Structure 1
Amino acid sequence: MQTERHVRLFKNGRNQALRIPREFELPGNEAIIRKEGDRLIVEPLRRRSLLALLEGWKPLGEEFPEIEDRPPEAMDL
Structure 2
Amino acid sequence: MTQITLAELPETLQNLINQAQKTGEPLTIIQNGIPLAIISPINQSKRAAFGAMKDSGQITGDIIEPTSNLVTWDVLL
Structures share fold, TM-score greater than 0.5: no
- Normalized per residue, the structure richer in strand is 1
Find the structure with the greater CA-based Rg.
Answer: 2
TM-score (norm 2): 0.27
Q: TM-score, normalised by structure 1?
A: 0.27
Select the structure with the greater relative contact order (CA < 8 A; seq sep ≥ 6). 2
Structure with the larger helix share: 2
